[in-house]
Amino acid sequence: MAQTTEPLTTHDPKALKIMAKSLYRQLREGGYSQGDVLGFASELLSMVSHEVRERQTPGEPVVEALRTS
């Protein structure tokens, strides 16, 4: 399955917060510990950071690289 890194739409920050709360609740109710959830969050941030670094051109501020994602 091919992965795409281009966003389909711009999402409402409020909707993203609701989605994060829902995912957190599902993980905790599924038996994952706080440490597990932190590990998950760390892995997710690592993936985002890696993608931003790949898109970033030399000398380009990180903020600009984020705008293209």
Mean pLDDT (10-residue bins), the chain, 69 residues? 58 90 98 98 94 79 62
Q: Compute the CA torsion angle 40, 46, 49, 55 (nearest 10 deg).
A: -110
Domains of the chain: which residue ranges? 34-69
**23: its two tokens:** 């995912």
At 14 the pLDDT is 92
According to DSSP H, which parts of the chain are helical? 13-29, 34-55, 62-67
